[in-house]
Amino acid sequence: MAVIEFKQVSYQVGDKKILNQLDLEVADNDYLTIVGLSGGGKSTILTLMAQMISATSGEIDFQGQNVMELDPVKYRREVSYCVQRPALFGETVEDNLKFPAEVRGVEYNRDRALELMARVQLPASMMDQKVIEVSGGERQRIALLRNLMYLPKVLLLDEITTGLDAENKAIVWNLIRAVHQEEQIAIVSVTHDQQEIENAEKVIAVVDGRISR
């Protein structure tokens, strides 16, 4: 069974149709890379999967159940969305890594936070650093770790390495590939990065709101 399935999903704003009767399946442990021209509907697919917006028509299922019937808070813990320019919360880096535990009402696991920090080459001393002092590459790594403090069933990645230098891109993608292999979560990535596309496991192209066959 697909973990996420689009059934004839359309999305439009006013008279502009962005997605047009789209059928799409994401299976358990899939690593799906979505490509296409800007404005073709790639990021709209992710925001629909994340339930940040609702389809104009059609149905989106999560593990066989219509997402409109699910608790959105619980759903977003299972389908986690990481964006290109993430916002960091609170005052310090550690505030961001505590946040997933706080919203779940459970005890914060500092050891896991430190383990994840080490995996993206961030020192433990950075925990106390103010978020306003964090660089762009560090910000993206911290935001990704925030999404991984509790592993989702599906991780959505929207152009997350755009604007990063080669070193930071490599650090981010090494962690993502490792998590995918070790934990076997499904990943859906939207990208323009040619190297990522060349290394992708499964690629689909979206053109004018449809999957190009």
* pLDDT tens, residue by residue, 48-59: 999 999 999 999
The whole-angstrom distance between residue 88's C-alpha and the CA centroid of its chain comes to 16
Per-residue model confidence as pLDDT tens digits over 180-209:
999 989 999 999 888 888 888 899 999 888
Can you give the pLDDT at residue 50? 96
As a residue count, the chain comes to 213
Can you give the pLDDT at residue 213? 59
The total of structural domains in the chain comes to 1
Residue 98 covered by a domain = no
Q: What is the mean pLDDT of residues 84-104?
A: 93
Could you tell me the CA-to-CA distances from 13 to 17, 19, 41, 54, 202 in Å, in that order? 7, 10, 12, 11, 29
* 81 token code pair: 């969305």
Q: What is the mean pLDDT of residues 89-111?
A: 95
Please work out, in degrees rounded to the nearest 5, the angle formed at the alpha carbon of residue 190 by the alpha carbons of 187 and 191: 125
Can you give the pLDDT at residue 198? 86
CATH of the domain at 70: 3.40.50.300
Which of these, 36, 140, 4, 129, lies nearest to 82 by C-alpha position?
Answer: 140
Residue 80 covered by a domain = yes
Can you give the pLDDT at residue 192? 87
Residue 70 covered by a domain = yes
Residue 101 covered by a domain = no
Per-residue model confidence as pLDDT tens digits over 143-164:
999 999 999 999 999 999 888 8
Residue 195 covered by a domain = yes
Can you give the pLDDT at residue 162? 85
Residue 120 covered by a domain = no
pLDDT band at 6 (very low <50, low <70, confident <90, very high): very high
CA dihedral defined by 46, 160, 143, 64, rounded to 10 degrees? 20
Per-residue model confidence as pLDDT tens digits over 29-51:
999 999 988 888 999 999 999 99
Residue 132 covered by a domain = no
Q: In what order do the strands lie in the sheet with 16-27?
A: 16-27, 2-13, 57-62, 65-66
Residue 75 covered by a domain = yes
Is residue 45 a contact partner of residue 206, using CB atoms and an 8 Å limit? yes
Can you give the pLDDT at residue 113? 97
Print the domain residue range for 67: 2-91+152-212
For residue 25, pLDDT over 70 is answered with: yes
What is the average pLDDT value for the chain, to the nearest integer?
93
